[in-house]
Amino acid sequence: MTDPGRTLLALDFDGTLAPIVQDPASAWIHPGSLAALRRLGPVLRELTIITGRPVDQVRRLGRFEDGPGLDRMVVCGQYGAERWDAASGEVRQPHRPQAVSDLAARLPQWLEEHDASRIRIEDKGLAIALHTRGVAPGLLDELRPQIEALAAEVGLHLEPGRQVIELRSAGTDKGQTLRRVVGRVEPGAVIYAGDDLGDLPAFEEGIALREQGMDVTLVCSASDEQDALLALADVVLDGPDAVAAWLGDLADRFAPA
């Protein structure tokens, strides 16, 4: 069996640890996953969350600081541009790019001009997300060429997800972030779990690490909205409920009561 003390467990948040819900501000972590992570935290080499969300949102929605077991965990937010580690309490946060500020100022009118004011704008600080879940399904697909043109015009990179598109600076993706974490932690084994297109670079990095001899397990939290990860996954689970059960099994193996 893999030694938990040599294992890096790296997890996406939305759609993996937390169910996708209408209001992203209430996408709380699955209680079963939280319970499993509290058991796994003390025995793993490292537990890291790699998420598109800002760090402060995931700290709140993950309830990580409300109980024991997670005092060494790390959260890499906004694909790794931000970082919080529980042990030091330090948050590393880069400055907001001017292009993001310019876009934020321009977007409400731009959406109005494109008859798309139903789209919800989320200002993430380092990126702007456009959400259509529950308010304008399909509209992002229709407007995709115009959004691509807008992103190119303001000099931002497009990050599509499940009923969301983000515009952010190029340069940090989950693959680069996973590589950096692995370089720092030097694990003997890596487990990575995710559900969406933004996790694809991390899966590709996992495959590259495996080719270098690392013991890598890639876990897909599957949904009927996204199938890009399925073919690359070693383990396919039916969404956050199944992820919670799987993490519970991992905790039984790694940290038996």
What residues line the site for Mg ion (CB under 5 A)?
12, 14-15, 195-196
Structure token pair of residue 136: 């304008």
DSSP string, 107-121: HHHHHHHTT-TTSEE
HSE-up of residue 174 (Cα within 13 Å, Cβ side): 27
Q: Which is nearer to Mg ion, 16 or 217 (CB)?
A: 16
Smallest separation (angstroms) from Mg ion to the CB of 162: 7
Smallest separation (angstroms) from Mg ion to the CB of 202: 11
Quick check: 160 and 151 in contact, CB under 8 A? no
Q: Which is nearer to Mg ion, 116 or 202 (CB)?
A: 202
Quick check: 71 and 93 in contact, CB under 8 A? no
Q: Which is nearer to Mg ion, 12 or 46 (CB)?
A: 12
Smallest separation (angstroms) from Mg ion to the CB of 152: 25
**Beta-strand (E) ranges in 2-99?**
7-11, 46-50, 74-77, 82-85, 91-92
Q: Which is nearer to Mg ion, 27 or 103 (CB)?
A: 27
Number of residue whose CB is nearest Mg ion: 15
> Alpha carbon of 247 to those of 11, 35, 60: distances in Å?
11, 9, 20
User: Reduced to 3 states, what is the DSSP secondary structure of residue 122?
Assistant: strand
Smallest separation (angstroms) from Mg ion to the CB of 12: 4
How many Å apart are CA 127 and CA 239, to the nearest integer? 26
Smallest separation (angstroms) from Mg ion to the CB of 10: 13
Q: Which is nearer to Mg ion, 11 or 182 (CB)?
A: 11
